[in-house]
Amino acid sequence: MDGPSSPIAPSGRADAGVGTPWLDADEQRAWRAYVRMQGLLAARLNRELQLESGLSLADYDVLVQLTDTPEARLRPFELQHELQWEQSRLSHHLARMRRRGLVEREECSEDGRGAFVVLTEKGRQAITAAAPGHVGVVRRFFFDGLTREEVAMLERLTTRILDRLSDADAETQGDVG
Amino acid sequence: MDGPSSPIAPSGRADAGVGTPWLDADEQRAWRAYVRMQGLLAARLNRELQLESGLSLADYDVLVQLTDTPEARLRPFELQHELQWEQSRLSHHLARMRRRGLVEREECSEDGRGAFVVLTEKGRQAITAAAPGHVGVVRRFFFDGLTREEVAMLERLTTRILDRLSDADAETQGDVG
DNA sequence: GCGGAATAGATGATGCGTCATGTACGTTGA
DNA sequence: TCAACGTACATGACGCATCATCTATTCCGC
């Protein structure tokens, strides 16, 4: 739970000649601010959530996905797709959550390899108890500081970056040029 | 290296009555996009940096701070202030970097408790080799997707959130409020 | 049907981040 | 001058994330 790098280039490099892709002064400042913001924000959200409910952000995300599903159960690979997590991260995390009684494992008759992750009553109570506080923290630290135009722009902007990241993944996978 | 939570509220809660601080639909979308973006971006930056140079983002940040200083050495608490890291995280991380030969420890004559963290030649070579590629990745995935206005707005916006986070810290510390 | 590939998921090793706690040194004030 | 307090830093335990690797099953072409 930390974040991308801060000052980006060593020894005050900024706006160097063509060929080297350094950032200019505006970009440097923006990058530093972004990086620091996301690091502190994530740390704060994690800490508050942990203190108030004993859940980590990762737990929270998994539980939300499960409650958003009719039967409160999902195949791990579906969960993986929703959360965009690495497979082994999910596997390890589900194992830990199972140990804590937040979810259960259920065999899958249709596919002998697979399984279902099922929300337990304890899991449901945990997410129900945690959600209002967590949303409140997000609102207090994030949205209360932004105008509606900024929120809209933020969505456009982050979505665009997201597309670039996905495109790069697709290229690496599918061997397109 | 992951990120804040994704869908924020369980079971499609959005725009509920007053009292409960749920997010409305716009905020939900913006939050989801932001969270996913920062998670994937951080993962990507970390992975590329690791592959190309064997450094983590955390290593990179420490090394940049050191190279930005005249004597390439800093007191841990200075580093801590620059990076905004928890003290024990820094301590652990410096220990690991020392084991790998990226930094050295030097006793501090002025303050018997303290020490200096000194950049080694190996550390300098590592950061020098890593920087262009890393900056390139940041540019490719992030800044190339943004207009200058967006960069400017992003800086304003993140700086504002940052202030809110700092204010909250100050309140918790100094018992104001 | 069978052999090879793809898919679903688990696991061990290792580095990282946080919390709680410990230790040593400095500072301050009665 | 010395006790109380604050500061600088280290450490152990533990949960988390990633990488490499492993197993079991299904799919697909022949």
* Interface pTM, i.e. ipTM: 0.88
Question: Shortest CB distance from B61 goes to which of A6, A30, A83?
Answer: A6
CA distances from A38 to A43, A52, A126 (A): 8, 21, 26
A149 pLDDT exceeds 70? yes
How far is residue B57's CA from residue B47's CA, in Å, rounded to a whole number? 9
CB–CB contact A37 B165 (8 Å): yes
Mean pLDDT (whole number) for A43-55: 94
Question: Shortest CB distance from B9 goes to which of A3, A135, A164?
Answer: A135
B13 pLDDT exceeds 70? no
Q: What is the pLDDT of residue B118?
A: 98
Q: What is the pLDDT of residue B166?
A: 82
Tallying the residues shown for chain B, one arrives at 177
> What string of DSSP letters covers A12-55?
G--S--TTS----HHHHHHHHHHHHHHHHHHHHHHHHHHHHHS-
Burial degree of A173 (CB within 10 A; 0-12, 13-18, 19+): exposed
- Look up residue B68 and give its two tokens: 């930005």
Residues A68, B12: contact at Cβ < 8 Å?
yes
Q: pLDDT tens across A75-102, in order? A: 999 999 999 999 999 999 999 999 999 9
> Half-sphere exposure of residue B121, counting CA atoms within 13 Å on the CB side?
0
CATH number of A55-133: 1.10.10.10
Mean pLDDT (whole number) for B100-109: 95
A116 pLDDT exceeds 90? yes
User: Considering chain A, what percentage of its residues have pLDDT values greater than 90?
Assistant: 80
User: Considering chain B, what percentage of its residues have pLDDT values greater than 70?
Assistant: 85
User: Considering chain A, what percentage of its residues have pLDDT values greater than 70?
Assistant: 84
Burial degree of A155 (CB within 10 A; 0-12, 13-18, 19+): buried
B16 pLDDT exceeds 60? no
The SS3 call for residue A116 is strand
CATH number of B55-131: 1.10.10.10
Q: What is the pLDDT of residue A71?
A: 94
Q: Residue B22's pLDDT band (boundaries 50, 70, 90)?
A: confident
Q: pLDDT tens across B107-126, in order? A: 999 999 999 999 999 999 99
Q: What is the pLDDT of residue A9?
A: 72
CA distances from B144 to A16, A23, A165, B141 (A): 17, 11, 12, 7
How far is residue A104's CA from residue A117's CA, in Å, rounded to a whole number? 6
- Indicate the domain borders of chain B: 1-53, 55-131
Burial degree of B133 (CB within 10 A; 0-12, 13-18, 19+): middle
Q: Is the CB of B88 under 7 A from strand C?
A: yes
- How many Cβ contacts (< 8 angstroms) between chains A and B? 240
Task: Tell me what the pLDDT averaged over chain A comes to.
Answer: 88
Mutation target among A8, A60, A161 for the B interface, most CBs of B within 10 A: A161
The SS3 call for residue A117 is strand
